[in-house]
Amino acid sequence: MATLDCAPGAVDPLVGNDDPKLPLAACDQDGVEMFILGPSFLEGTEISNATASLDPQGVGYLVSVSFHPKGVEIWSKYTASHVQERAAFVLDTEVVSAPTIQGAINGDTQITGGEGGFSQSEAGKLANVLKYGSLPLSFESSEAETVSATLGLASLKAGLIAGGIGLALVFVYCLFYYRLLGLLTILSLALSGAIVYAVLILLGRWIGFTLDLAGIAGFIIAIGITADSFVIFFERLKDEIRDGRTFRSSVPRAWVRARRTILSADAVSFLAAAVLYMLAVGQVKGFAFTLGMSTVLDLIVVFLVTHPLVSLASRSKFLSNPKLSGLGGAQRTATIQRQARVGAAQAVKEV
């Protein structure tokens, strides 16, 4: 007690290290009174509720405290044997209230602020302390990372370069393998990138969203998911043409079958991103957010842009040219199969 400093701003070395089984030297919250307290006889977890209300028999406010059954028994016995003595309510080695026991109390307890009573704010603060002060809360640092400005900028550039290289490889593959359809893929990806950029700006202004390295990784993976949707559609289109249909008649049939697969694949990707977002912390959460957002935007682009563009191309004589559309191989396969069926029919007739 001789070394205890109750001045405002002073730190009690026993905060967090108090043993409730031992006596305690403590100050009140205002730093006015100093107490020598005995061991704790009633845990704060036995308080079931505490409310602030106007004092019906005086002025100001009072605090009503109710206990759990075990707490009622302990409090009743203590008050009966300590009438006209003070009982201290302590939070983090600091006395928040030390009322005088006026008589044996068997049930709810009322704490008044003396002749003047509590003010509304004082009563509300004390009620909250008594009600919530015993909650077993603890905080742990889940992740901490310090990145210098130079290193952060270098990492951001590296991520953007990696994304640019991946996008360029997708463009080259699409142009080489699908030709005109590959060009439509590039236009769709470019539009998707513009939509993503616009959404990021809006999110940054609305909720303060900041793109980090994990978020860039999510967008890079989303490029592959978007390209997969195009590949599913185009390969189904080739299958229809190999069956002997024209480019124009194949588009609606291929789309009906391909969109089911596209919806299923994107639904799985979105659910995975949603679960990861709910369970993850730190940068992984940013990765899941951008991956899920890109998956939704992929559906928008495929349904509202890619499919309509392919339909328009199928109605154009110039764009339907097999040398331009990249469907020449599928049409040649259809021609060979047709000739084989005709030859087989003729052979049957000759027999």
- Tens of pLDDT, residue by residue over 173-217, are 877 877 777 788 788 878 877 888 888 888 888 877 777 777 777
Indicate the range of 136-145, 309-318, 322-331, 335-344 predicted with least confidence.
Answer: 136-145
CB-based contact 322:328 (threshold 8 Å): yes
pTM tops 0.75? no
Fold of 154-350: Multidrug efflux transporter AcrB transmembrane fold (1.20.1640)
- The tokens for 202 are 């809006």
% of the chain with per-residue pLDDT over 90: 1
Classify 34 as helix, strand or coil. Answer: strand
Q: Report the pLDDT averaged over residues 83-110.
A: 85
Q: Among 134, 88, 81, 82, which Cα is nearest to 111's? A: 88
- Tens of pLDDT, residue by residue over 135-162, are 655 556 555 666 555 555 776 677 778 7
Q: Residue 143 has what pLDDT?
A: 59
CATH of domain 24-132: 3.30.1360.200
Q: Using alpha carbons, list the distances in angstroms from residue 189 to 11, 84, 296.
A: 60, 80, 14
Mean pLDDT of the chain: 79
- Range(s) of the chain covered by CATH 3.30.1360.200: 24-132
Chain centroid to Cα 313, Å, comes to: 41
Q: Which amino acid is at 349?
A: K
Q: Residue 271 has what pLDDT?
A: 92
Residue 252: pLDDT above 60? yes
Distance from C-alpha of 47 to C-alpha of 62, rounded to nearest angstrom: 16
- Range(s) of the chain covered by CATH 1.20.1640.10: 154-350
- Tens of pLDDT, residue by residue over 272-293, are 889 988 887 767 888 888 888 8
Distance from C-alpha of 44 to C-alpha of 97, rounded to nearest angstrom: 13
Helices and strands (H and E) in the chain: how many: 10, 7
